[in-house]
């Protein structure tokens, strides 16, 4: 939700569909094919199961009503076409109503590997498969409800919870095997490979630690937090998250594990 906006989202027609240009469908096709090679052995099983359920087209950008049909049947969620950028208030409102915001534009070839604004590939390929999973869907719903009721100051801390779970979350099972469930990683070929390497620090999930950890949106993450399994999201949802936010506010942030952004 940065202030910068480089893209203009398309307006769906009365049926919720968009006629994307061939060049943009080709970008989807290339992104999909490239990332599909990276996922086996790295993406968590629940994500791959969701990807199978969605049966996303490989040769064109999917239409949101196609995705809604599957999400409504599995967890009662649906998508919501939104402009390239929306406010925090609107974001929380949508999640609280089981509507996942999807910006209806796709990245340009100049930003093929990385862009700061979430595009339709990030939202649909990265996040929608796990919205077929009850634990992930429940956590996302509760998060929206908490954010909707939170103050502006509390939302800053809540953003870190979303960042280190829904966006950049990983799993580490009892055999110490690592896998990915965060959509920000799953939609990024570079970060998918990076997170499985030796460079980043993988910490066990601790709610207050997560709320106190700074992050930057324009770099590979130096720190990730691992839960044991997707079902643990139900346990996190049962915690007193807002009390943890208050505690994190009192304790303050950890020292950043990255240099300050230039400029």
Residues tagged active-site: 122, 127, 167, 187
In 3D space, the residue among 129, 102, 117 whose CA is nearest the CA of residue 12 turns out to be 102
Is 122 marked within a binding site? Answer: yes
CB 131 within 8 Å of CB 137: yes
In 3D space, the residue among 135, 137, 126 whose CA is nearest the CA of residue 78 turns out to be 137
Residues 181 and 9: their CA atoms lie apart, in Å, by: 26
Is 138 marked within a binding site? Answer: no
CB 117 within 8 Å of CB 84: yes
In 3D space, the residue among 224, 95, 242 whose CA is nearest the CA of residue 164 turns out to be 224
How far from 55 is each of 42, 52, 71, 131, 133, CA to CA, in Å? Answer: 19, 5, 12, 14, 15
Backbone angles phi, psi at 183, to 5 degrees: -65, -30
Is 127 marked within a binding site? Answer: yes
Rounded (5°) CA angle 179-141-230: 20
CB 181 within 8 Å of CB 170: yes
CB 128 within 8 Å of CB 101: no
Q: How many helices and strands in the chain, by DSSP H and E?
A: 12, 6
DSSP letter string, 225-258: EEESSTTHHHHHHHS-HHHHHHHHHHH-PPPPSS
Output the known binding site.
122, 127, 167
Output the known binding site for Fe cation.
122, 127, 167
């Amino acid at each position: 939700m940065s202030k910068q906006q480089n893209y203009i989202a398309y307006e769906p027609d009365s049926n919720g569909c968009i006629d994307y240009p061939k060049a943009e469908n080709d970008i989807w096709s290339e992104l999909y094919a490239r990332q599909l090679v990276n996922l086996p052995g790295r993406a968590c099983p629940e994500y791959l199961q969701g990807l199978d359920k969605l049966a996303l087209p490989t040769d064109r950008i999917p239409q949101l009503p196609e995705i809604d049909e599957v999400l409504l049947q599995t967890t009662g969620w649906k998508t919501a076409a939104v402009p390239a950028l929306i406010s925090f208030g609107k974001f929380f409102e949508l999640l609280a109503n089981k509507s996942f915001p999807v910006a209806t534009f796709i990245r340009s070839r100049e930003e093929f590997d990385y862009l700061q604004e979430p595009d339709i590939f990030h939202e649909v390929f990265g996040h929608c498969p796990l919205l077929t999973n009850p634990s992930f869907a429940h956590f996302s719903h509760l998060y929206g409800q908490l954010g909707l009721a939170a103050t502006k100051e509390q939302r800053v801390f809540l953003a870190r919870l979303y960042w280190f779970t829904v966006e950049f979350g990983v799993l580490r099972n009892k055999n110490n095997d690592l896998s990915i469930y965060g959509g920000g990683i799953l939609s990024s070929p570079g970060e998918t490979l990076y997170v499985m390497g030796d460079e980043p620090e993988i910490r066990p999930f601790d709610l207050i630690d997560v709320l106190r950890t700074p992050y930057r949106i324009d770099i590979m993450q130096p720190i990730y937090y691992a839960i044991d399994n997707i079902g643990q999201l139900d346990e996190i949802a049962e915690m007193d998250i807002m009390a943890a936010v208050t505690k994190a506010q009192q304790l303050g942030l950890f020292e950043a594990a990255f240099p300050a952004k230039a400029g």
